Copies of this chain bind each other. A is one copy, B any other.
Amino acid sequence: MYKSITNVRVRYAETDQMGYVYYGNYLTYYEVARVESLKNLGISYKELESEGIIMPVVENWSKYIAPARYDDLLKIEVSIQKLPGLKIRFHYEIFNESGKLIHIGDTSLVFLNPITGKPTEPPEKILKVLEPYFSDEK
């Protein structure tokens, strides 16, 4: 398993009139967390795109346990629990400043060639940096 931690501070723009973070905005937090988790491995999603791989989301699940609120500094623990095949799946657990688990999520993405529109194998360099985290699972 590979695990990484990202901190995100809630913006006013992200709240709604309930005083909660609007439910759709968590998916942006996920994006920030998973991009940073790849960056920590030396993989830039921006570079992947310029090399001809896009990674659209194919499935997402979110559980809202307690609200996040304006100016909260959220801690997002993001993990990859399985070596990617045609899909890569990220799992998130979000904690507020008191350390309370307020949110859980899962996102699956595919590797896609934007020219052909066809799914492709994950780039070698992603497998290479991830494999050490899964070596004892063989």
Contacts and interface: CB of A to CB of B under 8 A. Distances in A.
Interface size range on A against B: 35 or more
A67 interface: yes
A12 B44 CA distance: 13
A2 interface: no
Contacts of A44: 71
A116 interface: no
Contacts of A23: 27, 56-57, 60, 107
Given A17-B12, A27-B27, A35-B12, A64 B59 contact: yes
Contacts of A57: 23, 64
Contact of A22 (B13, B18, B26): B13
A100 interface: no
A15 B12 contact: no
A16 interface: yes
Given A23-B57, A60-B64, A61-B62, 4 more contacts: A17-B17, A56-B64, A58-B63, A60-B62
